[in-house]
Structure 1
Amino acid sequence: MGYADLRELRTALSTAQDIAFGLDPSAPSAQQAEELVDALRRALSSATSLVSEHGATGCAQHPRGAVDPLYGDPEDPLPPGYGKCLLCNDRRRRAGTQHRGRR
């Protein structure tokens, strides 16, 4: 994740917010709508570039690794501190199992 990407995201979101709050509530002009869409597209593009650097897992070590199938499961939530990365979560699970067995 680059600082320039994050700065561009914040700028685009701020611009979109300014445009949205400045819209005429009764009938926004086509030009205002186009400017809003352009700012939102820039924000989406910047956000997408942030995600692609850490892949689907959001993990700096394993950006292209597998996503943990238990991530986001409301019936079997992951413990605090766990993320989407299956490799890191598996390492945490194994470390927890070893510590419990030694007690």
Structure 2
Amino acid sequence: MSYADLRELQNALNTATDIAFALEKAPSNYEADQLVDALRRALSAAGALGAAFGATGCTEHPRGAADPLYGDKEDPLPPGYGRCLLCNDRRRRSSAQRRGSR
């Protein structure tokens, strides 16, 4: 997370708040467009905050693939598994080898 991303989020939220509290009962299209723009900037900045770890949340493979089995209710992942396909695949292979060597 960078300080610039956090600062951008705070600025966009402050701008959106200022616009929202200044709105009259029937805001003009221009005022509504300004509010939507500020909220979009805030959403974009909020998305950038977590971009350092990508979709996997993995520190080892931040830009790796997300495990398609993650969160599947029919086949839930064992404890300790996360969203990183590379790490989960390594864990699955390791546990399969241990079961096969018995």
Separation in 2 of the partners of 1:59 and 1:48?
16
The residue number in structure 2 matching 1:42 is: 41
How many pairs align? 101
Structure 2, gaps ≥5 residues long: none
SS in 2 for 1:11: helix
Structure 1, gaps ≥5 residues long: none
Deviations 1:10-53, CA, capped at 9 Å, x for gaps: 432344345345543x4222232122112112113213433443
TM-score (norm 1): 0.65
Separation in 2 of the partners of 1:65 and 1:13?
31
Separation in 2 of the partners of 1:21 and 1:98?
61
Q: Which amino acid aligns with 1:3?
A: Y
The residue number in structure 2 matching 1:86 is: 85
- How large is the Cα RMSD of the aligned pairs? 3.1
SS in 2 for 1:89: helix
**Distance change (3 Å), C-alpha of 1:36 and 1:88:** same
Query: If you compute each CA radius of gyration, which structure gives the higher value, 1 or 2?
Result: 2
TM-score (norm 2): 0.66
Report the identity percentage: 71
The residue number in structure 2 matching 1:13 is: 13
Q: Which amino acid aligns with 1:68?
A: D
Deviation at 1:70, TM superposition (A): 0.7
